[in-house]
Chain A
Amino acid sequence: MPPESLTNEAIAERLTSTALKSLKKGTIKKKNLIYLELNGCSGNIISLLNGQNPDFEYTLNSMVDLKFCNSLMAAEGERAIEKLIKAMDEEYILAVEGAVALKNNGLYNIIGNWQGKPLTGLQAAQMLGEKASHIFAVGACATHGGVSAAKPNPSQSVGLQQVLPNKKMIKLPGCPVHPDWFLGTLAHLLLYGEPETDNLDRPLMFYSTLIHDRCPRRPFFDRGIFAEKLGEKTCLFKLGCRGPVTRVDCPTRQWNGHVNWPIGDNTPCIGCAQFGFPDAMAPFISYDTTRVVKNE
């Protein structure tokens, strides 16, 4: 048998456990992390909290020093923003989830008050982004606008890169991001530096293969056997499955503690880890392609 597990989850697990061991031994140093939540649903931090044993907050705090996180920190109000401003005095890694709202100079997304004035997501993204040693755009909204920027986009939301055009960043699309994609990339950064990325700045170790190429229902596609309605066990392509255009490792990684994933539960892939989601991935489900409607 191969000496080490070759599964996808094993890769992320190996990375995080190696990072934790190296930190304990002192061969690598802990870095500060600022986790900023901007215009979005906080789905990514919720997904991350759903991580494995030991729980996410423990993993995160033992791998890095979490200096600021809208959802996880105990401080509130101006005292929380004070911590955020203070964290900028030292070197830090910046992780941003949510889009940047541009409407009314950013006033559609206020993350707190600083010196009596509202601090907008736009200000925070630019201020923190300029000084960060490394930047992670976490989830669909941060990487390309995502759901926050879906039509008609009343807040004029954009992806993080648009307000930091000259900064290099690692993009982790997904709605939400899988805990492994974030923790694995973070561990890689601590251990070996920035991971290898594709031309869209996505780490190759998680985003290199198409869902379609690893789909357990691929033999049905190859033989032209398509499901006509949800619940059928054959290929969901004619219902609008976006697996053929979505590059990420869901079929082998799986969700909720590596239990299952959308196609495993009989629903088509909606392409949430693809740039352009959700508008460009619509319609998510289509019932009129294979079915022949009478009198038409």
Chain B
Amino acid sequence: MNNIEMIRMQINYLVTQARHDIYTLSTLSDTSMKPQILQRLWDALSTIHFLSDWLANQAKTSSHNLSSQPSIPGLSGALYQSQIPPITPLPTPPISQSNQRTFTIGELATFTGKNGRPAYVAVNGIVYDVTNNRAWAAATHFGLIAGKDYTQEFASCHAGQQSILAALPVVGRLV
């Protein structure tokens, strides 16, 4: 089965699910379920949108290259499962102990997230990767730029919120 056919199957599945969700919403007496169903509907629509854009791109490029179709990231595994898993953000890469390198403040300053480089910041002596962190768009966060030690700033803004740091991939230590 080629990629396009699988995408079509996925879209059909999502449309069926969306129809069912709309029917469920129309007959719902227990309103506590409503937000979840609406969320699933939203996700289904977003994915249909994503897939249709992808198909349109394929149609555009297929005239140039009919033989090879690149696989679509993050979807191929899901197509064979009976249940479509919800969309979840990309998992943070596992922290390998061998990757625990040390940084001087000068070295850290080169990881600004500019020109394709990763974006790192340090808090309490630990260097974290914020390249794909959603609060660090364009490697900046509320006026702060990546590549610096933000121990003070973190304490003044997110004191006690260790969960923020726990969710970030660690890349090393600041020496």
Contacts and interface: CB of A to CB of B under 8 A. Distances in A.
A262 interface: no
B127 to A, nearest CB: 19
Contacts of A243: 137
Nearest to B25: A2
A287 to B, nearest CB: 9
Contacts of A285: 138
B53 A233 contact: yes
Interface string A240-259: 11111100000000000000
B20 to A, nearest CB: 14
B113 interface: yes
Contact of B134 (A1, A237, A240, A268): A237
B73 A225 contact: yes
Interface string A124-139: 0000000000000000
A286 interface: yes
Contacts of B137: 237-245, 268
Nearest to A244: B134
B114 A289 contact: yes
**Interface SS of A by simple majority:** loop
Nearest to A294: B115
Interface residues of A, number: 40
Contact of A218 (B22, B46, B142, B143): B46
Interface string B84-105: 0001111000000000000000
Contact of B138 (A2, A220, A238): A238
A279 B53 CA distance: 35
Contacts of B46: 216, 218-219
B47 interface: yes
Contacts of B116: 289-292
B140 interface: yes
A276 B89 contact: no
Given A244-B137, A279-B143, A291 B89 contact: no
Contacts of B174: none
A291 B143 contact: no
B74 interface: yes
A118 interface: no
Interface in B108-138: 113-116, 132, 134-135, 137-138
A283 B115 contact: no
A222 B89 CA distance: 4
Nearest to B143: A280
A283 B140 contact: yes
A214 interface: yes
A222 B139 CA distance: 17
B26 interface: yes
A74 interface: no
30 contacts: A1-B22, A1-B26, A2-B26, A212-B134, A214-B42, A216-B46, A218-B87, A219-B49, A219-B50, A220-B50, A222-B74, A222-B90, A223-B50, A224-B73, A239-B137, A239-B138, A240-B137, A241-B137, A244-B137, A245-B141, A280-B142, A280-B143, A281-B142, A286-B139, A286-B140, A288-B114, A289-B113, A290-B116, A291-B115, A292-B115
Interface of A: 1-2, 6, 212, 214, 216, 218-225, 233, 237-245, 268, 276, 279-283, 285-286, 288-293, 296
Given A238-B138, A245-B137, 6 more contacts: A219-B46, A224-B90, A237-B134, A245-B134, A286-B140, A289-B115
